[in-house]
Structure 1
Amino acid sequence: MLLHCLGEDGEDWRGVVGRLAGTHRVFALDQRGHGHSDWPGEYGFARWRDDVIGFLQALGLERVALIGHSLGALAALLVAAERPDLVDRLVLEEVPPPLPADPPQEVPEQPAGPQPFDWQAARAVAAERNAPDPVWWDAPAKVTAPTLVIGGGATSDIPQGHLDELVERLPDARLVTVEGAGPLVHEERPGEFLAALPVIPLPGA
């Protein structure tokens, strides 16, 4: 299962989904407030987490490989912590740490005209990045799935040292850095992104 970042939708994975679909049954969700999913105006990482859990339960899916990018990566981490029975493998690309953002995030003024996602989602992300739920920092210790953390190196928006800290808090994890890829590893360097995945063997691989 693939979980996109803020402002995108399931199509964001088009550069890698074909390769993954060759050996796996793949779901690339439009998360709430994005794409063709509902735009209810109520957003937050706990809601995105619960949406994923509800989707898995509705389809009777268990022991999935969960791959998330940025917003989707933090949601995936929270899913794996809340329901470790549902997650067999976890891949976190450019995951924002569950720590107060430094410097604090600001939401730019909403552009005029239609947008491909609900701008309220951007406001919710900024608010929770600036003041995350303190229990989130305990979430990594609850993850039982082998985890691959992928960073984009020095040009990333995420302090790469935070990824090192996260890996230390996860029971079974390792970090792969794709230097120069920045915040969009799977888009800018899809070959290296896919090549990293066998480090954490996916079901059926």
Structure 2
Amino acid sequence: MPSTTLLTLNDRRLAYEDYGPPTAPVVVALHGHFGRGRIFAPLAEHVSTSYRIVAPDQRGHGRSDNGGDFHPDAYVADLEALLTALALGPVVLLGHSMGGVVAYRLAARRPDLVRGLIVEDIGAVTDDTAVAHPVLDVTDWPTTAPSPDAMRAAIEERGIPDATYFLHSVEHDPDSATWRLLFDPADMMRSQKQAMGDHWDDWLASTCPALLMRGGHSTLLSADMAADMVRRRPNTKLVDFPDAGHWIHDDAPDAFAATVTEFLAGLSR
């Protein structure tokens, strides 16, 4: 079982999950919008004997504090503070979606902290010039429900075909005997909008080995964008998952874990 820890960093509470041997090489895994660190538990189980997975709940997510600044630079500052507090680095950064943006922005700013970069299904441009629908409208999502099934139904009624990913961020509230979302929909709207932009300079600024993973059915990373990212950044490998969507770690968990493991093993050669 993972160890869940709460830290106070930059005057905010930040939670993280810690899996695997404490002396093993470290992978810091960053979830995307609406997620939390524990989405990487299956990956941690897959690599449990060889790597340590540190998976924070990023600001506004999971058990970390809600509210405040949601500019990507604020997420990067949290990550830098976490690595410093835990005396980690250089590490491999793995980021899904928005977490991928945070990962490659930190690699650009603090190359001394990053020895490898894994980006799961997000591009170097995240606004409506490259993505048809860069923001998921969650303004009318319920924040509580009588059960997880009721929360799933309420989310899926709002046009989400499968709410499984979002249910990672639903927990029982013993005080009200209901189930509640751990993220605030208003926070998520602000965070998504602030994440939109052209991040080419950050993507191209780092030189460490990088792995870019794209779901074949992704709506957030086009095949053309992925190919351009690999063409323009040396030392970068692209792996496509033809049957997966944006959440490769959920849609193709075994292939995802195997691809990550192969990349990590290559860094040790």
Deviations 1:100-134 (A, max 9, x none): 2243534232313342212233212332354x2x5
TM-align CA RMSD: 2.0
Matched-pair contact (CA < 8 Å) for 1:148–1:199? no
Matched-pair contact (CA < 8 Å) for 1:105–1:129? no
SS in 1 for 2:74: helix
Q: Which residue of 2 aligns with 1:121?
A: 187
Structure 2 matches for 1:76-115, cutoff 5 A?
76-101=103-128, 102-103=131-132, 105-106=134-135, 107-114=137-144, 115=181
Question: TM-score if structure 1 supplies the norm length?
Answer: 0.89
Matched-pair contact (CA < 8 Å) for 1:62–1:85? yes
Q: Which residue of 2 aligns with 1:157?
A: 219
SS in 2 for 1:74: helix
Q: Which residue of 1 aligns with 2:163?
A: none
Match of residue 56, structure 1, among 83, 95, 101 = 83
Give 5+ residue unaligned stretches, structure 1: none
Q: Which residue of 1 aligns with 2:207?
A: 144
Q: Could you tell me how far apart the structure 2 residues matched to 1:47 and 1:26 are? A: 22
Q: 1:204 to 1:21 in 2, by over 3 A?
A: farther
The one-letter code matched in structure 1 to 2:132 is P
Give 5+ residue unaligned stretches, structure 2: 1-27, 145-180
Match of residue 75, structure 1, among 87, 102, 119 = 102
The one-letter code matched in structure 1 to 2:228 is E
Q: Could you tell me how far apart the structure 2 residues matched to 1:143 and 1:110 are? A: 39
Q: Could you tell me how far apart the structure 2 residues matched to 1:22 and 1:90 are? A: 21
Higher helix share: 1
Shift of 1:141: 2.0
The one-letter code matched in structure 1 to 2:138 is P
Count of residue correspondences:
201
Higher strand share: 2
SS in 2 for 1:103: coil
Higher relative contact order (CA 8 A, sep 6+): 1
Q: 1:25 to 1:126 in 2, by over 3 A?
A: closer
Q: Which residue of 2 aligns with 1:18?
A: 45
What percent of counterpart residues are identical?
Answer: 28
Matched-pair contact (CA < 8 Å) for 2:67–2:187? no
Q: Which has the larger radius of gyration?
A: 2
SS in 1 for 2:47: helix
